[in-house]
Structure formats: C-alpha cells, structure tokens
Amino acid sequence: MKDTVKRLVNAKAEDTIRLAKDIWSFAELSYEEYKSAAVLKEALVNEGFVIDDGIAGIPTAFTATYKVGSGRPVMALLAEYDALDGLSQKAGLTEPEPVVPGGSGHGCGHNLLGAGCYSAAVALKDYLVENNLDGSVVFFGCPAEEGAGSKQFIARAGYFDDVDFAYTWHPSTFNEVASKGSVAIMGANFTFDGISSHAGGSPHLGRSALDAIELMNVGVNYLREHMIDAARVHYAYSDAGGTAPNVVQSHAVIKYEVRAPKVSQVQELFARVVDIAKGAALMTGTKMSFEITMAFSDYTPNKTLAAVMDECLSEVGAPEWDEADFDMAARMLRSYNKNTLTNIKESLKEYFDREDITDILEKPLDQDVHPFNPKEFRYESGSTDVGDVGYATPTVMLYMSTACLGNVDHTWQNTSFSCSGIGMKGMLRAAEVMTLACIKTMQQPELIEKAKAELKKKNGGKYVCPLPDYTMPPIGKY
C-alpha cells in the first residue's frame, strides 16, 4: 500500500510543486486569495473534481468533490493558502532579502499546506478509480486562517455535517501527528465614543474615548494575575482617535483577542474583559460598544484516527534529506540571534536527548518520526480554525518537517523555506501520509464509527459555533 501511495503522489509531484510555487509567489493575504484559489480550482477541475464556489459567504472559499459509486465514506482534506503581511522574502536564501520590501510572504507555509492537500486529494481519487471503490473525496479550500478564519463559518453553514472524517497537515520542524491541542480564541473590536473639545481651552467639556481605552488596558493588565496560566490576552490600537494632542479624542477603537484551552474558558474570560470595558466607559463618561469579529474553537486530535495517521507516518517515514538540505538548514539556523538560538536549544530537549542536541544542530533537519502520545493533555499557545472542524467531524492534523529544527514560524526564514527544496520534500511526504491514512481509515468502517462516538462525547452530538449568529465573515474588515 505504501508503494502504491508513493506512486500515486509521485505521478502528480511536478503539478503539486508548481502549485506550491505559484501560491508562494502570489502571497495573498486573508480573504484576498483569489489567484491562489483559482489555480487550485483549475488544477482540481482538470482532475475531474466538481467545484462549489464561494461557500459560507466567503469568495475565496470552496469545495472540490470527486464522487465514486455510492460516495461513502466522505473524506475531507483541509487546505489553506493565505500569506502574512510584511514577510516577503526571496526563496531559498539564508539571509533576509525581500522580493518586495514590506510585502507579504508565506511565513507559515500555507502554500505548501494547500498544494500538499491537493496532492493527497488527487492521489486518493486516483486510488478509488483504479480500484473501483466507493467514496467521496472533498477538498476544502479554506482561506484566512491567519486572519479571522473561515472553517468556523464553513462548519456553521453545515458543510461538514455529512463528512465522515477529515485529515489535514501543517508545515513544521518535526515529523509527528499533533498530540498537543491548540487553544480557543475570541477577538472583538471595542469602540468608545465620547465628546471632542479643546484639550487646552475647555478640557472639562470633553469626554475622551482614548482615555477610556487606556483605562481598559490598565484594567485588563490587572486581570492577567487572576486568570489561568494557559490563558492569553492581546490587544492592538485600531483607531487611537487622531494625531492632534490638543483635541480630546471623541472616538477610538481597540482590538482584543482572548485565548484559553477551552471555548468555555475563552467565553468566561472574554465576558470579564467586556466588564472592564464597561467600567472604563463609566469612569470616562463615554459610551462603549463591541463586536465579536472572530472566534476559533480549541483543537484536540481525534485519538481514534490519530492512531491510524501515526501508524501511516511511521510506515512512510520522515522526508529523505541530502547534504544540500542539511547545509541550507544549518546556515538558516545560524541566521537567528544568540538569544533565539539559546531558546531553540532548550525547546529541542523535549524531543531529543540533551547530549545529542549539539550533534543534531550540525544537521538540523528532523530525521525521526515522533510517536503520537494519546495521553497528552497539554495545549500549544497558538490557535487554528481547524479546531472548529474537529468539533464538527472527526479530525486529525499531521505535522511534517519543511524547515530546520528550531525554525520560528511567521518569520522571513520560514518564507524562504516555504519555497525551497526542503519545503517541497516535506510537502510531498505529508501528501503520502494523508493519502495512506485516508485509505486505511476508509477500509475500516468500524473505526470510523468509533471515531464518531469519540466526537459525540466531545461535542455532545452537535457542533456549536463559538461565534454569535450576527458575525459574518469580515471580508475587507479584519
């Protein structure tokens, strides 16, 4: 089976690499991925997939479906293809040199993610056709993971209701099925409105919206002592009320994001932030309103299916690196400053023996497969909208090495790796693992039912979107 999967993936490897490079060159930001979505749709149509475009009210979101026979089981692959602002970087270079100064770049490797899922979808389709087997392959084109997300809107619209299971992957520095979860998140814009006045001549007549925001920040800073260790609260000024210091600012907007391991914890913590905002408005004589703009559920892997993907990863193995790959990885690792390198060495102790780390960093590409830990209960501090899919259908995420050990996401270094030979090797290996996992899962109907029973315990039998019904995809607003 492994050899069959490798043959199927290799047959379309050139097309997959071309797609990854095209999407990397487009480097389109959240909800603006028109070219990236277009090339993926064109490639999938050429393979016989049927497109449902603009799903969940998002112009750059789509499904591509290939149905054989009865169409059961329905197998989903979750693709992303959005880039990040300010991370433009020439491919394969080990020193910073942007393609467009200040431009965007694939600093999280979503060009590889989207193209790798294309490869798996096509290989799986070819396997069904060659063997005259029933099943449906559904490629989900999911934009804006780096922004306000799309998968929660797609899940809320019911697109995963008929899906039997979903697999996806993410570019990484390690080869493993993700054991740790990722935390839930909720974000909102807080708007304060006051009264403008001359700050020198009649300050007593003004009611400062900027003061309200400042007081809100002070209140939230005191809140930080009284929340769980795994929680996070971030903020950014969206509108500080102007640049004239002699005018009392009558209008100001601040963005807040709250993270915690579980959706329920996020909701409770967010309610406390709202109370602080109300208090700031009361203290300043201003009016406050807020609008929730984004929310992701926490991600935890479906352990039933994670065991299948873990078996497939062990069978397929880590990417096969050559000396040129090791040389690039070592030079890229040296591009980080001393403090970052110290932190990298400390972080690697979780995966490798302490006495081996110095030797490993001379050839800093992961050559191992790290086993899935079904007893893991910890969470990474990041968030992803894959979590919402995981509450709607059994879902598992694979991590595959596409960059040097210790590489930091959302950096120019990662943009460089995302269009390198290292990135392409990891992408194709991830496609092999996902394809094999889909095949082994579809061959075991009882396993699918067990995975669904596990999901029912997690979601109570129904997906509940963490977003309020009024929140629509913030196209052009986030």
State pLDDT tens for residues 54-86: 999 999 999 999 999 999 999 999 999 999 999
Lowest mean pLDDT among 3-7, 30-34, 271-275, 469-473: 469-473
- Give the 3-state secondary structure of residue 45: helix
* Local confidence band at 162 (pLDDT 50, 70, 90 cut-offs): very high
Give the pLDDT confidence score for residue 464 in this predicted structure: 95
pLDDT at 200: 96
CA distances for 120 relative to 80, 167, 302, 458, angstroms = 14, 10, 20, 28
Token pair 């963005």: residue? 255
Task: Tell me the backbone φ, ψ of residue 145, rounded to 5 degrees.
Answer: -65, -30
Residue 359: its pLDDT value, please?
Answer: 87
Percent of the chain past pLDDT 90, that is, above it, reads: 94
Instruction: Give yes or no for a contact between 256 and 187, defined as CB atoms under 8 angstroms apart.
Output: yes
What share of the chain has pLDDT > 70, as a percent?
100
Record the tokens describing residue 5, joined without a space. Answer: 């999967």
pLDDT at 381: 87
| 353 pLDDT above the threshold of 90 | no
> Rounded to whole angstroms, how far apart are CA atoms 395 and 305?
8
Please report where in the chains the tokens 């995420």 appear, as a residue.
397
Q: Is a pLDDT exceeding 80 seen at residue 279?
A: yes
User: How far, in Å, CA of 288 to CA of 464, rounded?
Assistant: 28
Asked if 357 and 321 count as a contact pair (C-beta separation under 8 A), the reply is no
478 has a pLDDT exceeding 90: no
Contact at 8 Å (CB) between 134 and 119?
no
**How do residues 183-242 score in pLDDT, each as one tens digit?**
999 999 999 999 999 999 999 999 999 999 999 999 999 999 999 999 999 999 999 999
pLDDT tens per residue, range 396-409:
999 999 999 999 99
Alpha carbons 392 and 431: distance in angstroms, whole number:
23
Dist. CA 236–CA 222, nearest whole Å: 17
Burial letters 109-126, b for 16+ CB under 10 A, else e: bbbbbbbbbbbbbbbbbb
Q: Give residue 376's pLDDT.
A: 92
Model confidence at 357, pLDDT cuts 50, 70, 90, reads confident
Instruction: Pinpoint the alpha helices (H) of 132-262.
Output: 151-156, 209-223
6 pLDDT higher than 80: yes
Q: Are 119 and 433 in contact (CB under 8 A)?
A: no
Domains and CATH numbers, the chain: 2-182+298-459 (3.40.630.10), 184-295 (3.30.70.360)
pLDDT per residue over 439-456, tens digit each?
A: 999 999 999 999 999 999
Residue 8: pLDDT over 90: yes
Per-residue pLDDT reduced to its tens digit, 258-270 = 999 999 999 999 9
Taking CA 306 as the corner, what is the angle to CA 14 and CA 61, rounded to the nearest 5 degrees?
50
pLDDT of residue 38: 98
Tokens 């001359």 map to which residue?
198
